Chains A and B, each alone.
Chain A
Amino acid sequence: MVLVSHSAQVAAAVAELAKGLAGGAAGVPVAPAGGTEGGGLGTSAELISAAAASVDRGAGVALLTDLGSAVLTVKALIAEGDELPDGARLVDAPFVEGAVAAVVTAATGADLDAVEAAAGEAYGYRKV
C-alpha cells in the first residue's frame, strides 16, 4: 500500500499509525510518498512511482491519497500505463481511516478487492 499526501510528515505518520493499529502488520508493505522531492508541500510523481515499486509483491498495489494534486497525479500515472506496477489502483477512501482499515484488512491475508472495499467503507463511519 502507498500513502500519498501533500506532506511527507503526514504520509509517514499515517503509515506508522495504520501499522501500529494493525498490531504491527509486519507482513503488509506500506510506503509513504509525501510532499515534493525537495521536501516541500505538494505531490511528486517520482516519489509515488518509487514507493509503489518498493511495496509491489505482485498482488497489486493500493494507493490512498489525500487532496487535489495527490488524487490527480495518481490517476494520471495510472493512465500512463507503465509508471506503476501492474494492478496498481487508486482506492477511494478517507486518508487516515481508510489507511487503517486497509492495513488491518491486508494483514488478514485478504486480496486487493477486499482491502479496497474495507478502505472505502470507512466513508460510512459517521462520528456524530
Chain B
Amino acid sequence: MLDADFFRRWMTVAAASVDREAERLTALDSAIGDADHGSNLQRGFTAVRATLEKESPETPGQVLTLAGRQLISTVGGASGPLYGTLLRRAGKALGDAAEVDEAQLAEALRAGVDGVMALGGAAPGDKTMIDALAPAVDALPDGFAAARAAAEEGAVATTPLQARKGRASYLGERSIGHQDPGATSSALLIAALQEAASGA
C-alpha cells in the first residue's frame, strides 16, 4: 500500500530530478518552444517541496492536491496549469484514503491525464506531455518499472512527430526531429514514481 510518505517521496524525487535535468529540458524547449521549461518546472517543484515540508499533508490525496496547487501558482508557463491539473485531479480521485493501492493510483492518474487532455485539448500523437503520460498510465497496472519504460519510450517517440499543440505547433514541420520537452519532463515524473517506490 502507498501512504502519504510515499507520495511526498514521489514529489521530492521529482523535484530533485527536475533540478538535475533542468538544463536539458530548457535546451529541448529552446529548439521548439520558448526556452523556459526547465527553469519554470524547477521553480514550481521547488515551491512544491517547500510547501510539503511546511504543511505536512496527511493523506495521499492531500499531498497531490497541494502539490498541484503550487504548480499552478508558481510555474509561470503552460506546464504549470497542465501538471497542476494532473496532480490535483489525481489527488481528488484518491479522496481521503490514508493508503491507496497501485490500482487506485493508476485509476487516479488516469483521471489526472483525462483532466490534462480536457484542459489543453491535446490527444496522443500531438507531440505533448500526453505522449508520455498516456502510455505510462496504460502500463501502470504492470508495475512502476513498466510505466517508467512506457513513459520514456513515449517521450522519445515524440521526436519524429509534428507538434499540433502549444508554441511548438507554430513551427509546423520544423518541429519534426526534436524531442518534446513536455513529454520529456513527464517521463521524469513517472521515473520518479518508480524511484520513490524503490525507496530512493
Q: A45–B80 contact, CB under 8 A?
A: yes
The number of residues on chain B lying at the interface, defined by a beta carbon within 8 Å of a beta carbon of chain A, is 21
Q: A76–B76 contact, CB under 8 A?
A: no
Question: Number of residue pairs across A and B with beta carbons under 8 Å?
Answer: 52
Interface of chain A: mostly helix, strand, loop or mixed:
helix
The number of residues on chain A lying at the interface, defined by a beta carbon within 8 Å of a beta carbon of chain B, is 18
Residues of A within 8 A of B119 (CB): 72, 75-76, 79
Q: B167–A68 contact, CB under 8 A?
A: yes
Interface residue stretch chosen among A35-43, A52-60, A91-99, A116-124 = A35-43
Residues of A within 8 A of B76 (CB): 36, 40, 42-44, 69
Given contacts A69-B78, A69-B81, A75-B119, contact A42 B72 (CB under 8 A): no
Residues of B within 8 A of A42 (CB): 36, 40, 76-77
Report A66 CB to chain B, min CB distance, Å: 12
Q: A68–B78 contact, CB under 8 A?
A: yes
Cα separation A39 to B74 with both chains bound (whole Å): 13
Report B179 CB to chain A, min CB distance, Å: 19
Report A36 CB to chain B, min CB distance, Å: 5
Residues of B within 8 A of A9 (CB): none
Cα separation A75 to B81 with both chains bound (whole Å): 8
Q: A76–B72 contact, CB under 8 A?
A: yes
Residues of B within 8 A of A76 (CB): 72, 80-81, 84-85, 119
Contact surface of B with A, Cβ cutoff 8 Å: 34, 36, 40, 69, 72-74, 76-82, 84-85, 88, 119-120, 166-167
